[in-house]
Amino acid sequence: MSPSFLDAIALTHRPDLDVLILRWPQPVYSFTTREVYKQVLELAKATNARYWLFDIRSRGRLSKQDVAWLQDSFFPALHGELSHLTHVAYLLSPGHANDPETKASAEQMRTLPWYGKGADFEGFTSETEALHWLKKCQMIEVER
């Protein structure tokens, strides 16, 4: 990746939390969205991270093509790439969380065959709540 692209995101793994964290501190244009997700997948493979926090409050809307790629390609391939269920907590701005189009898209994605098998997700407006949900997912996995 180019240095300018690296400046557009912050991608880290927090072993103390067992969470992969992606922060978009500024809007990202369509041509980079897929590259960001590919970098997430590479780090997830390297760290065996199955709990992800995506802070997309400053990212801006994805194009329809990128949304289609996420639901038709990226998320369906996760189980084959990682061989476990990946939990994704999305940190949203209040406006984004209450947007009817965002809500409808999330509900539609929850009906797809990969949901609950390769990945699941929830949206939050509080980072504390998002991390609590990921911790709850971790505890459920430990109890199994």
CATH of the domain at 130: 3.30.750
Angstrom distance (rounded) from CA 76 to CA 71: 7
Mean pLDDT of the chain: 88
The larger pLDDT score, comparing residue 139 to residue 3, is at: 139
Range of the structural domain that residue 38 is part of: 10-143
- Whether 28 maps to a domain, the answer reads yes
Total structural domains in the chain?
Answer: 1
Of 42, 100, 39, 33, which Cα lies nearest the Cα of 70?
33
- Whether 3 maps to a domain, the answer reads no
Per-residue three-class SS string for the chain: CCHHHHHHCEEEEECCCCEEEEECCCCCCHHHHHHHHHHHHHHHHHHCCCEEEEECCCCCCCCHHHHHHHHHHHHHHHHHHHCCCEEEEEECCHHHHCCHHHHHHHHHHCCCCCECCCEEEEEECCHHHHHHHHHHHHHHHHHC
The 10s digit of each residue's pLDDT in 88-127 is 999 999 998 999 988 999 999 999 999 999 999 999 999 9
- Whether 122 maps to a domain, the answer reads yes
- Whether 91 maps to a domain, the answer reads yes
- Whether 4 maps to a domain, the answer reads no
pLDDT value for 5: 47
Average of pLDDT values for 66-92? 93
- In this prediction, residue 20 has a pLDDT band, given cuts at 50, 70 and 90, of very high
pLDDT at 131 over 80: yes
- Whether 56 maps to a domain, the answer reads yes
The 10s digit of each residue's pLDDT in 28-48 is 665 578 889 999 999 999 999
- Whether 2 maps to a domain, the answer reads no
**How many CB atoms lie under 10 A from the CB of residue 58?**
12
